Structure 1
Amino acid sequence: MSVASDDVEPGYVRVRLDLAYDGAEFSGWAKQRTRRTVQGELESALQTVLRLPDPVALTVAGRTDAGVHARGQVAHVDLPEEVWELEGGKLLRRLAGRLPWDVRVWKVSRAPAGFDARFSAIWRRYAYRVGDQQGGVDPLLRGHVLWHDRPVDVDLMNEAARRLLGEHDFAAYCKKREGATTIRTLLELHWERDASGLAVATVRADAFCHNMVRALVGSMLLVGDGHRPAGFPGEVLAGRVRHSAVNVVRPHGLTLEEVGYPADELLAARNREARNMRTLPLPRA
């Protein structure tokens, strides 16, 4: 099967892949003709180890940008039933032998009915890690932590974060794409210090638009280091346009940690619901 499909064709099996990757040397998830990508490596490996005559097509829960990492990414692929029955039990080990060091598949399983890695998901959870120690970031963590050259106040950033929760039009924090909505529901956004002293943002939403997490982090760092008051990120959100003071922070501090799905019996309904274009309710007169 060479083209991803909404429905599983007769004679095919939908297979779920749980995977992780270091994004440093990838030009993002999505396959490109001349650049190295996670999708390109995985599809090539699958076709090779399964000895398939035609290319396969992966569908992913969230397309990460160049330089962004993933610990809990999810994808699916539709395979001929006879191939799955014959090779499914060996697939994990064979992928480990074929894939490059910076991408790993941890689990391979037959997906339940109605499952779609992208449209069945009910939330995605990211972490963004910031080091604000005066001497810089631990060299062993440098590829996963942003160095901020001023100390940040986690409590102030949490005060700012609370004003961003809920369903909003996040146009001010997104790179607009033609025909796509920027309405999202931000379910969780908070900062804490981990055991090593890093300031870590946990960001969970039903979905994210392009650059959304990195722009949100950029606005809150302005609050954390004293450049802007706690209400600033909320004011930017309400304005619905990009603000020149808000930087989209670098990608290497960002990791996709987990993707959430409903119970198996709700997968198909969520799949259908997620395809609808969202709008915000009209204000009451």
Structure 2
Amino acid sequence: MRIALGIQYDGTAFNGWQSQPHGKTVQDVLERALAEFARTPLQTVVAGRTDTGVHGLGQVVHFDTELDRAAFSWVRGTNAFLPRTVAVQWAKPMPGTFHARFSAFERTYYYVLHVHPVRSPMLAGRAGWIHTPLDIDAMREASRCLIGEHDFSAFRSSECQSKTPVKHLYQIDIRAAGEIVHLRFRANAFLHHMVRNLMGCLVAVGRGRYPATWMADVLASRDRDRAAPTFMPEGLYLARVGYPEPFAVPPASLGSMPFGGIWSE
């Protein structure tokens, strides 16, 4: 039997998603909790690996098991062994054709950015921070050239394992609400550090360090050295993973995200 789980987690204290020998990753604590509940080791496959400090709102995993448990039992039973910073939101039996990673056709990331002369300890780990004002219109203008299918090598980490740097970026939305700037990135897939590297460039434009037209030059260069430094991970959230309708994957609950109502539509 194949079971899919929807997972939420605060990534602040974890060294990313993927299991490591020290055991301080989200995958490690989830698989330990599953093993405690199921009384047998269970190996998970994830929709998208997140980096150190990055959060999950709509993360999806699957695993195979011979155990026959009700969906609510997988949720409550696993959560009983998880730390407060990780929680299973839903569980659902899936056909064998479902694959958490390869069945997904799109992913959406949110970035929450606090713009204020002084950092707020109440947002520590939950939002990125910039102390200078931003030109939001310039950032929107700079983002337009990124929409579509492109070679995103200029925004790719040297550690990226993707077979191709060509991705299709469907949407970038930027909205300001007081001291908070919300950014939404939706694509068929993302390269390692791609969103954080895009953020670094958008913030550089917003601060007036480069004109909006500079973004197109960076994209065309395919040269990581031409782009801005990788932006901080604290405000980044894997918000949604899109799957074909026949799988009926439950939508992510965004109400627990800081200021998440802005993307309620």
Which residue pairs with 1:40 in the alignment?
28
Give the match for residue 144 of structure 1: 126
Question: Is 1:256 aligned to residue 238 of structure 2?
Answer: yes
Partner of 1:279: none
* Residue number in structure 2 paired with 1:114: 97
For 1:217-245, what per-residue CA distance to the aligned partner results, in whole angstroms no more than 9, with x for missing partners? 10011111111000112211110011355
| In structure 2, C-alpha distance between the alignment counterparts of 1:128 and 1:73, rounded to whole Å | 15
Deviation at 1:98, TM superposition (A): 0.6
Provide structure 1 residue ranges, at least 5 long, that are not aligned to the other structure: 1-12, 268-285
**1:150, distance to aligned residue in structure 2 (A):** 1.0
Whole-Å Cα distance in 2 between the matches of residues 105 and 35 of structure 1? 19
Provide, for residues 26-61 of structure 1, a one-character-per-residue CA deviation record: whole Å limited to 9, x for no partner: 100000011400111111111111111xx2211111
1:71 paired with 2:57, answer: yes
Aligned-residue offset at 1:112: 3.8
Find the aligned partners of 1:162 and 1:140 in 2 and give their Cα distance. Answer: 33
The two structures have a TM-score, normalised by structure 1, of: 0.83
Query: In the alignment, what sits opposite 1:158?
Result: 140
| Distance in 2 (alpha carbons) for counterparts of 1:50 and 1:112 | 20
> How many angstroms does 1:74 deviate by?
0.6
Looking at structure 2, the residues matched to 142 and 244 of structure 1 have their Cα atoms a distance apart, in angstroms, of 30
Q: Which runs of 5+ in 2 are unaligned?
A: 250-265
- The aligned residue for residue 26 of structure 1 is 14
| 1:133 positional shift | 1.6
Partner residue in 1 for 2:45: 59
Partner Cα distance (1:72, 1:261) in 2: 12
Task: Show CA shifts across 1:176-227 (max 9, x none).
Answer: 4357211110011121013x43111100111111000000010011111111
Instruction: Give the secondary structure class of the aligned counterpart of 2:224.
Output: coil
CA distance in 2 between partners of 1:17 and 1:214 (Å): 26
Q: Which entry has the higher C-alpha Rg, 1 or 2? A: 1
Residue 103 of structure 1 corresponds to 86
Seen in structure 2, the aligned counterparts of structure 1 residues 250 and 35 have a Cα distance that, compared at 3 Å, is: farther
Could you tell me the TM-score, scaled by structure 2's length?
0.88
Query: Is residue 33–residue 79 contact of structure 2 (8 Å, CA) maintained in 1?
Result: no
Q: Which residue of 1 aligns with 2:114?
A: 131
Of the structure 1 ranges 205-214 and 109-118, higher mean CA displacement relative to structure 2 is found in: 109-118
Q: RMSD of the TM alignment (CA)?
A: 1.8
* Deviation digits for residues 133-188 of structure 1 (CA, Å, limit 9, x no counterpart): 22333x22221111112100111101111110111111110114357211110011
Q: Post-superposition, which runs of at least 4 consecutive aligned residues in structure 1 deviate over 4 A?
A: none
- The one-letter amino acid paired with 1:199 is V
User: Is the Cα–Cα contact under 8 Å of residues 165 and 186 in structure 1 kept in the other structure?
Assistant: yes
**What is the distance in 1 between the residues matched to 2:140 and 2:162?**
33
What residue number does 1:283 align with? none
Q: What's the secondary structure of 1:127's corresponding residue?
A: strand
Q: Distance in 2 between matches of 1:43 and 1:253?
A: 25
